[in-house]
Amino acid sequence: MTQLIDVVRAYFRGIEQGDLNAVLDCYWDDAVQIEWPNRLKAKGDRRGIAQLAADFGKGRALLSRQSYEVERFAETANYVVVEVLWRGSLAMPVGKLAAGNEMVAHSSIAFDFRDGRITSQRNYDCFEEF
C-alpha cells in the first residue's frame, strides 16, 4: 500500500469515527471538494475546507453511524480513485427511510494530491432508492 492510499484510508476512518480533525489533516487548506449531482444533492456541491468542516456536523446529526467498504483503488503519481460501498444508519427520516434505516451508496471518489495531502476531491455517488 502506498502513502496516498494510506491517506485515503485515514480520511475514511476519520469520517467513520466522527473525527473532524483526522479528516481535515488529510487536506491542504486550499483544497476543494466537488460532489456531483445525486439523489441527496440534486444540484451537487462545491466546497472548500471551511464549508466541509461546517457540513461535517450536519452529517453527524443526520447519521448515527456510517462506513466505507473499499472495493478497489487505482493510483498514479498524485492521483487516487477509489470505488466504495458507503452505508449510513439514519438518525432521522430521509425520503422513504425512517430513523434507524440504512442508506446505501455506490461511489467512486477521485482524489488529487500535493505533497501527500488532498488538494481536490470529486465524489460520484449513486444512492440506492430512499
pLDDT digits (tens, 9 = 90+) for 31-69: 999 999 999 899 999 999 999 999 998 888 899 999 999
pTM above 0.75, yes or no: yes
Task: Decide: residue 60, CB within 10 A, 0-12 exposed, 13-18 middle, 19+ buried.
Answer: middle
Question: Is residue 113 predicted with pLDDT exceeding 80?
Answer: yes
Q: What is the CATH number of domain 3-127?
A: 3.10.450.50
* Pairing mode, strands 63-76 and 45-48: unpaired
- Write down how long the chain is: 130
Instruction: Retrieve residue 104's grid coordinates.
Output: 446505501
Per the prediction, the chain carries an average pLDDT of 96
